[in-house]
Structure 1
Amino acid sequence: MTEPASAGDAADVLLPPRTGLHRRNAWGFGLGTLGRDMAATLVTMFLIVYLTEVVQVSNATLAAVTVVLVVMRLFDAVNDPVMGLIVDNTRTRWGKFKPWIAGGALAWAAATIVMFSDWGVEGPWFVVVFIVVYLLWEIAYTVNDISYYGMLPSLSRNQIERERIGVVARVCANIGIFGVVMAIVPVTSALEEVLGSAQSAWFALAVAVAAMMLIFQTITLVTAKEQVSSERMHTSLRELFSVIGRNDQLLWVTLAMVLFMTGYTITTSLGLYYFTYIYGDVGMYPVFAAILGVSQIGGLLLFPLASAKLGRRRVHLLATASCAVGYVVFLFAGTSMLFIGVAGVLLFAGQAFIQLLMMMFIADSVEYGQWKLGRRNESVTFSLQPFIYKAASALASGAVGVTLIVSGINDAGSAADITDVGASAFKVAMMVVPLILVVVSWLVLARRYRLDETRYAEIIADLRLRESTVEARDGES
């Protein structure tokens, strides 16, 4: 392994990007996330709500479903790198990403609609059908997700350009996420009055979300254009483990972000339950969601300025501190909506920074792996991003299921049915456990992640030197 070239030779990776094609890729790629995250949010955040509040499954069925979610999400997360390998080895006239993006989106939309259909079964048969439907949903999601985010590093390897593409993508994604979060209560209530049942209302919402996802994915397929070519190198299954296992920076990012996202997902998954059974006014949930949505989008828009002024390491420390203080304020907010709102702003503005940093850290790990291992594997490397989300979702699902049973919420009819002990257990799960995970996540990255701006620029300079050497050698032969 050679030492990288000097940072001065790679200053262009930190210069402002070109405008025309950059804007096309930023908006083309970014808008696709809006529909994707609407569909993902409907299931990852509200599937349990649908099962407990609409289908009204028993504690036994909820326990079984919780086990299924944990096992299947972990199993699917482990399979993500294999899908990344398949994408990286794909060669078509449309490139290696877009065929999988299109096919995955179609299957994902269909599975989402089936997920919220009336299956007409109960007990053990409900669990069996749930396993089949959820497995189809996860496979389709994986196909689309791996190929979609695998395309990001190929759109540019200029760090500023990547950050701007990432900002647009995360802003659009958060519009999709919080559009669903804010709409879930008023829209399903309105649809229930029109359609006559809560199940029909949720089904109609699922159809609408699936259609939106396909529309925005089509925008990406038509407009996004790759700029960084990949080597025509086939990666075998045996080499897959080397691509991931020897990329130490990617592994540290993965560990840290699984910890952070597990805490974050626990908090967001319990949000609707908090306002229904702890705060005692579900009508405040859309208001809280609006505050969070504005906070996250504001954080994302401020990220490029903060990154330019402070650097990524200081931004990461600032964001972690914001999240930690937010959890403390939330824990002691009581029934004060003012303090709950302040906590939400601190939590979700900080989370927005960390969410974008995660994407950038993984994207930069593509070039680090190329420099260290001599091969460029965008999809295999970026398969660790959905792995992070799915592993975190699996662990959070287990925590949420246990919390709902232990706190007594799954059997409760209203906030009056929750004991003080149950409320305390709920708050520990929603606020204290995530706080600990956020701090540990920061410690891992602060001590182990080394791809700062200077180091990345050096690596890019060395890669370009290698490429020019190969081109010169090929020209002489």
Structure 2
Amino acid sequence: MSHSASSTDMKPKHILGQRMAYTFSGFGQAVFYNMMSTYFVVYVTSALFAGVDKDIATKLVGIITGAIVIIRIGEIFIDPLLGNLIDNTNTRIGRFRPWQFIGGLVSAILLFMVFTGLFGFVNVNQTWFIVLFIAVFIILDVFYSLRDISFWGMIPALSEDSQERALYTSLGSFGASLGFNGLTVIVVPVVTYFSMQFTGRNEQNQSGWTALALIVAMLAIISAMSGAFGTRERQSALRAKAQDNGNPLQAFAALAKNDQLLWVALSYVFYAVANVATAGVLFYLFKFVLDKPAAFSIAGIIPVVTGLLITPLYPVINKFIPRRYLFITGMGLMIAAYLVFILASTNLTAVIIALVLFYLPSTLIQTTAILTMTDTVEYGQLKTGKRNEAVILSVRPMLDKIAGALSNGIVGFVAVSAGMLNTATAADMTAHDIQTFKTFAFYTPLAFIVVSLLVFLFTVKIDEKEHARIVNLLECQLGSKDNA
């Protein structure tokens, strides 16, 4: 039986347009995510409290970063509820597309607000600023989640075929790689340029960060519109004949019964925490360890180049090499990267080599994890009869946000513990400061990568062949019901 009905009745130009729209949506979404998860904490530690007494600023940085960690850990319970909301949405344009637009619009506006210090309120009353900031950030995170879950959750609605899903996952990841790492390339020069234009000072200050946030917010809105209005959800037999998605409690029960989803999720969260923890402190590596802050753009250029090389090739490579082996290869390269970081973090050439080894396998690892989670939609449907697309696909974004929250906490902790705040320079760093940095930037993430690999090797059983077998079983079961 054929189960790739996602594009057979669409004209080639419409298929191409949909793929381009999906890719651009992923681009803008990743720019937004990097701005929120990585550079917001850099902004908080370097510009938001620049005019405040150092001791007070240190306490405020701790409160802000701690609040972000708590909010995002709370998403363990919120994201599946949002996924259930999306799964039970029925509109003329589908269940995923409306939330991409609504989530993208609201979260973009709120992102701009937090990068203005709530329009300067931080300088009026710091206590009330903290209260209002927490409320705004919670709403921001919820609406971003709605966009993110609907973006990745749409993949099973576009196709049931593993190869076709691999293509859309690769396109989404390709756009995301360009967006996430592209921001890393431009963040320092753009913030510096606008800081100079508004204040006449060659630094990264409040004015520069606000200008960058406005650019990112506008891009986020345009790309959300691309995903919402440039794609088309397909209504396949497996989607149409699945049982009702149920209430939130039934959605949690469906997740609990999907053991393959849970194992992939456990493996992925260890990888994601390691990945964002290291990526989140690379700015500090260049500024305080290498004493070469102007060279930081290298940390963005390398993943852009590796993403351009690897991401479009993933569907082609996957035709000849099973996902499992791509994942193992990627993890091996990351382990090698951490060993180079640990042994030679004060040498720019060695750091560049380590960055290549660190970013080269990210597509192999992330795309494999996303595809494996996507294929557990049918695995769960076979076990429970319910097809929880958005709920299941909410797990991966949820894990990314938890990892991002921990990254925020790690960055804030490192900045405070290693004295990497405000006007500090590389000359102020002690051997103890450098060791504190390396412990949280390299040693701990390396241990997480090893655990992630072991979990995947010994627990994850679903692959391309197993998924095809499951789809065939489902189609036979549904066909039998129709004939009964």
Q: What amino acid sits opposite 1:166 in the alignment?
A: T
Within-5 A mapping of 1:48-59: 48-56=41-49, 58-59=57-58
Deviation at 1:399, TM superposition (A): 2.3
Deviation at 1:122, TM superposition (A): 5.3
Within-5 A mapping of 1:326-337: 326-337=337-348
Question: Equivalents in 2 of 1:399, 1:187: separation in Å?
Answer: 25
Q: What amino acid sits opposite 1:443 in the alignment?
A: L
Question: Equivalents in 2 of 1:289, 1:84: separation in Å?
Answer: 32
Greater mean deviation of Cα atoms: 290-299 or 36-45: 290-299
- Which residue in 1 is equivalent to 2:162? 159
Residues 1:414 and 2:425 aligned together? yes
In the alignment, is the contact (CA less than 8 A) between 2:282 and 2:299 conserved in 1?
A: no
Aligned pair partner of 1:36 in 9, 29, 32: 29
Aligned pair partner of 1:207 in 190, 214, 232: 214
In the alignment, is the contact (CA less than 8 A) between 1:61 and 1:124 conserved in 2?
A: no
SS of aligned partner of 1:253:
helix
- Which residue in 2 is equivalent to 1:430? 441
- Which residue in 1 is equivalent to 2:311? 300
- Which residue in 1 is equivalent to 2:248? 237
Q: What amino acid sits opposite 2:77 in the alignment?
A: V
- Which residue in 1 is equivalent to 2:111? 112
Q: What amino acid sits opposite 1:173 in the alignment?
A: A
Q: What amino acid sits opposite 1:68 in the alignment?
A: A
Question: Equivalents in 2 of 1:241, 1:334: separation in Å?
Answer: 44
- Which residue in 1 is equivalent to 2:405? 394
Q: What are the superposed Cα offsets for residues 293-321 of structure 1, whole Å, 9 maximum, x if unpaired?
A: 21233222332233222211111110000
Question: Equivalents in 2 of 1:352, 1:315: separation in Å?
Answer: 10
In the alignment, is the contact (CA less than 8 A) between 2:38 and 2:408 conserved in 1?
A: no
Would you identify which runs of 4 or more consecutive aligned residues in structure 1 move more than 6 Å?
A: 16-19
How many residue pairs get aligned? The number is 464
Aligned pair partner of 2:129 in 119, 126, 131: 126
- Which residue in 2 is equivalent to 1:449? 460
Q: What are the superposed Cα offsets for residues 229-286 of structure 1, whole Å, 9 maximum, x if unpaired?
A: 4347241222112110000011111111111100111111101111111110110001
Question: Equivalents in 2 of 1:122, 1:260: separation in Å?
Answer: 40
- Which residue in 2 is equivalent to 1:382? 393
- Which residue in 2 is equivalent to 1:289? 300
Deviation at 1:31, TM superposition (A): 1.4
Q: What amino acid sits opposite 1:175 in the alignment?
A: L
Question: Equivalents in 1 of 2:252, 2:175: separation in Å?
Answer: 33
Pair 341,302 (structure 1): closer, same or farther in 2 beyond 3 Å:
farther
SS of aligned partner of 1:302:
helix
Deviation at 1:40, TM superposition (A): 1.2
In the alignment, is the contact (CA less than 8 A) between 1:330 and 1:343 conserved in 2?
A: yes
SS of aligned partner of 2:268:
helix
Question: Equivalents in 1 of 2:125, 2:177: separation in Å?
Answer: 35
- Which residue in 2 is equivalent to 1:224? 231
Q: What are the superposed Cα offsets for residues 369-415 of structure 1, whole Å, 9 maximum, x if unpaired?
A: 11111111111111101111112122222222222222121266101
Q: What are the superposed Cα offsets for residues 3-59 of structure 1, whole Å, 9 maximum, x if unpaired?
A: xxxxxx67x669x98982543432222211111111111110101110111123611
Deviation at 1:416, TM superposition (A): 0.6
Q: What amino acid sits opposite 1:90 in the alignment?
A: T
- Which residue in 1 is equivalent to 2:143? 140
The two structures have a TM-score, normalised by structure 2, of: 0.91
- Which residue in 2 is equivalent to 1:191? 194
In the alignment, is the contact (CA less than 8 A) between 1:319 and 1:354 conserved in 2?
A: yes
Greater mean deviation of Cα atoms: 116-125 or 345-354: 116-125
Q: What amino acid sits opposite 1:283 in the alignment?
A: A
Q: What amino acid sits opposite 2:43 in the alignment?
A: Y
% identical aligned pairs: 27
Pair 294,121 (structure 1): closer, same or farther in 2 beyond 3 Å:
farther
Query: Structure 1: where are the runs of 5+ without partners?
Result: 1-8
Question: Equivalents in 2 of 1:459, 1:22: separation in Å?
Answer: 27
- Which residue in 1 is equivalent to 2:54? none
Deviation at 1:227, TM superposition (A): 2.1
Question: Equivalents in 2 of 1:359, 1:90: separation in Å?
Answer: 23
- Which residue in 2 is equivalent to 1:470? 481
Q: What are the superposed Cα offsets for residues 332-369 of structure 1, whole Å, 9 maximum, x if unpaired?
A: 22433222111111111112211111211111111111
Question: Equivalents in 2 of 1:334, 1:33: separation in Å?
Answer: 32
SS of aligned partner of 2:182:
helix
Aligned pair partner of 1:173 in 173, 176, 188: 176
Q: What amino acid sits opposite 2:375 in the alignment?
A: D
Question: Equivalents in 1 of 2:4, 2:226: separation in Å?
Answer: 27
Pairwise CA RMSD: 2.1
Q: What are the superposed Cα offsets for residues 398-442 of structure 1, whole Å, 9 maximum, x if unpaired?
A: 222222222121266101111011101101211111111011001
Q: What amino acid sits opposite 2:162 in the alignment?
A: Q
SS of aligned partner of 1:92:
coil
- Which residue in 1 is equivalent to 2:335? 324
Question: Equivalents in 2 of 1:414, 1:159: separation in Å?
Answer: 50
Q: What amino acid sits opposite 2:446 in the alignment?
A: L
Greater mean deviation of Cα atoms: 410-419 or 77-86: 410-419
SS of aligned partner of 2:160:
coil
